[in-house]
C-alpha cells in the first residue's frame, strides 16, 4: 500500500485547513470539511473493507440522522473538537476517513482519529447537504463550513433576506455574479449540531451552493476543495468590501444591467433572474 499521507487528497485537505485557519475563518475548533472520495483512489492506500471501529452518526446533541442514500460512500472528514491549525502537522489525529455503514446509521472508521476521536459534530448536516447536492450535481464532492469574519459581521448589519443579501454581495465585486450566479441562501439563527439545521441546510443546498447560517458562519459546496474554498473566499471578499464601505455615502455601484452584460459575456445562464432588478 502507498503512504496515505502523500495522497493528493490528503495533501489538499491539509493545505485547505491550514489556509482557512490562516485567514481567520476557523478559530479554535470552528469549522469543518467533508470530502467524498472514490473507493478506487482510497484503495491505493487502505483496505476499504477493514474497519478500525464503528462510530454512530450523531450531532452534538446525539440526534441520529438517516444517511442511507450515502451507504458505502467514503469521506475524508475533520474531527469534532479538532483545531484546523493542527491538521497539517498531525493529520492522523485531526482527520479521519470513514465509510458510511449499512442503513446509514453509523460510519466505519478506515483511518485516522488516532486519539479515539470521531467526525465533526456537524457530520449529519454535512451528509444531508451531500445528499442534496448530489441530486443537483453528481460531481459534487465537498461540503465546507467556516466562520469568515466579514461575512459574519455583515449578518449583524444587513437584512437577512436572500435576494437583498445576494444582491449586495453581487454589487461589491465584478466577479461575484459570475462566481455564484445562483446567489446565496440564508437561514435564520438555529441551534447547531442538530438534524433540524442539517435538514434546513440541505433544502437550501437544492438551490444554492452557498448557505449562510445567520450569526454563525457559511456552508459551501463544490466539486473540489479549491472550488468550494473559492466560493467562500469570494463571498468573504465581497462582505469585507461591504463592511469597509457600508458607513460611507456610496457614489458608485455595479448596475444590474451591467451584471447582465457580465453574465452574457461569460455565457452564464443558470442565474437568479429574480434577484436582479431589471427594467
* Active site residues per annotation: 122
Q: Provide the grid cell at 13.
A: 485537505
Return the ∠ at Cα 162 (arms to 252 and 266), rounded to 5°: 60
Distance CA 60, CA 110 (A): 22
- Is residue 213 within 8 A of residue 185, CB to CB? The reply is no
- Is residue 219 within 8 A of residue 154, CB to CB? The reply is no
Distance CA 178, CA 261 (A): 11
Distance CA 68, CA 221 (A): 20
Q: Provide the grid cell at 29.
A: 475548533
Amino acid at each position: 500500500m502507498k503512504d496515505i499521507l502523500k495522497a493528493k487528497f490528503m495533501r489538499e485537505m491539509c493545505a485547505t485547513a491550514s489556509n482557512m485557519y490562516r485567514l481567520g475563518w476557523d478559530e479554535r475548533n470552528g469549522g469543518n470539511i467533508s470530502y467524498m472520495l472514490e473507493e478506487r483512489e482510497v484503495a491505493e492506500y487502505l483496505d476499504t473493507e477493514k474497519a478500525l471501529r464503528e462510530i454512530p452518526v450523531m450531532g452534538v446533541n446525539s440526534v441520529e440522522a438517516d444517511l442511507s442514500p450515502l451507504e458505502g460512500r467514503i469521506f475524508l472528514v475533520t474531527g469534532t473538537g479538532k483545531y484546523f491549525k493542527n491538521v497539517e502537522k498531525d493529520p492522523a489525529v485531526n482527520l479521519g476517513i470513514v465509510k458510511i455503514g449499512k442503513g446509514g446509521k453509523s460510519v466505519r472508521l478506515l483511518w485516522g482519529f488516532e486519539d479515539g476521536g470521531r467526525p465533526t459534530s456537524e457530520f449529519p448536516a454535512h451528509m444531508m447537504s451531500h445528499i442534496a447536492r448530489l441530486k443537483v450535481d453528481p460531481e459534487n464532492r465537498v461540503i465546507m463550513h467556516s466562520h469568515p469574519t466579514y461575512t459574519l459581521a455583515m449578518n449583524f448589519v444587513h437584512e437577512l433576506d436572500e435576494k437583498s443579501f445576494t444582491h449586495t454581495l453581487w454589487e461589491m465585486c465584478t466577479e461575484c455574479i459570475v462566481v455564484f450566479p445562483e446567489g446565496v441562501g440564508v437561514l435564520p439563527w438555529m441551534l447547531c449540531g442538530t438534524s433540524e439545521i442539517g435538514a434546513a441546510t440541505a433544502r437550501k443546498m437544492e438551490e444554492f451552493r452557498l448557505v449562510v447560517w445567520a450569526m454563525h458562519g457559511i456552508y459551501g459546496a463544490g466539486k473540489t476543495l479549491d472550488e468550494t474554498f473559492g466560493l467562500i473566499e469570494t463571498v468573504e471578499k465581497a462582505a469585507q468590501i461591504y463592511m469597509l464601505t457600508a458607513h460611507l455615502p456610496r457614489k458608485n455601484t455595479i448596475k444590474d444591467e451591467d451584471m447582465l452584460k457580465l453574465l452574457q459575456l461569460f455565457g452564464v445562464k443558470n442565474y437568479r433572474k429574480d434577484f436582479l432588478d431589471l427594467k
